[in-house]
Amino acid sequence: MVKSAVEVLGDETLRLMAAELVGIIRKNAGVDWTVRKNIQAKMKVSVKRLLKKYGYPPDKQKLATESILKQAELLCIDMGVSAV
């Protein structure tokens, strides 16, 4: 049986992770972050460290990291942050 992130980590831990993730994205996102590979790489490393810090299942970290960065990109596009 595959457990969800909520079952593994709990609601409170996920809430704390989400708050820290927002901080990571805000700290690193600039006007052109969606096209600059070095900034994307820095964000990936920060997100992976955060997932590891909170004990996120290692086998799901890659997918979670990709998902988080894709969501951040979509959010920033909606806010007009990613305009080059």
Q: Which tokens sit at 32?
A: 């052109």
- Tokens 């709990």 locate to 10
68, exposed or middle or buried, with CB in 10 Å at 0-12, 13-18, 19+? buried
Q: What digits encode the pLDDT tens for the residues 34-69?
A: 888 998 899 999 999 999 999 988 999 999 999 999
In tens, the pLDDT along 14-39 reads 889 999 988 888 888 877 888 889 98
Q: What predicted TM-score, i.e. pTM, was given to this entire model?
A: 0.74
- What is the reported pLDDT for 75? 79
What lies within 8 Å, CB to CB, of 58 at 6+ separation is 52
pLDDT attached to residue 72: 86
Nearest-angstrom CA–CA distance, 20 and 2: 26
In the prediction, which pLDDT does 20 show?
92
Q: Please state, in angstroms and rounded to a whole number, the distance separating the CA atoms of residues 26 and 6.
A: 24
